[in-house]
Structure 1
Amino acid sequence: MFYSLATRPARSFQRSHAPAVSNGALESFLSDTFSSLSNAGTAKAATVEDLEKTYALQLDVPGLAKEQLDIGIEGDVVRVTSKDDAARKVKAAWRFPLEIDAANSTAKLENGVLTLTLGKKVPVSNVSQLAIQ
Structure 2
Amino acid sequence: MAALTRYEPIDDWLMDTLRDPARDPWRDMFRRLTRSHWPALRAPDDMRVDVTENDTAYTVRAEIPGAKKEDIAVKIEGNLVSIDAEIKEDKETKGDGERVLMREIYRGSMSRAFTLRHDVDDQQANAKFENGILTLTIPKRAGVKSTTLPIG
Q: TM-score, length-normalised on structure 2?
A: 0.50
Structure 2 unaligned blocks of 5 or more: 8-35, 40-46, 90-106, 145-152
Of 100, 107, 112, 2:120 maps to 100
Structure 2 residue aligned with 1:79: 82
- Structure number, greater radius of gyration: 1
Residues 12-64 of structure 1: per-residue CA shift (max 9 Å, x gap): x7139xxxxxxxxxxxxxxxx58x9xxxxxxx921100112100000000110
**TM-score (structure 1 length as normaliser):** 0.57
For residues 63 and 85 of structure 1, do their structure 2 counterparts lie closer, same or farther at Cα, with a shift above 3 Å needed? Answer: closer
Gapped regions of structure 1 (runs ≥ 5): 1-12, 17-32, 37-43, 125-133
How many residues are treated as equivalent by the alignment?
88
For residue 100 of structure 1, give the secondary structure of its aligned residue in structure 2. coil
2:111 pairs with 1:120: no
More strand per residue = 1
1:129 corresponds in structure 2 to: none
**Are the equivalent residues in 2 in contact too, given 1:100–1:121 (CA < 8 A)?**
yes
Q: CA RMSD in A?
A: 2.8
Specify which structure has the higher proportion of helix.
2
Identity %: 27
Q: Distance in 1 between matches of 2:79 and 2:136?
A: 14
CA distance in 1, matches of 2:51, 2:111: 16
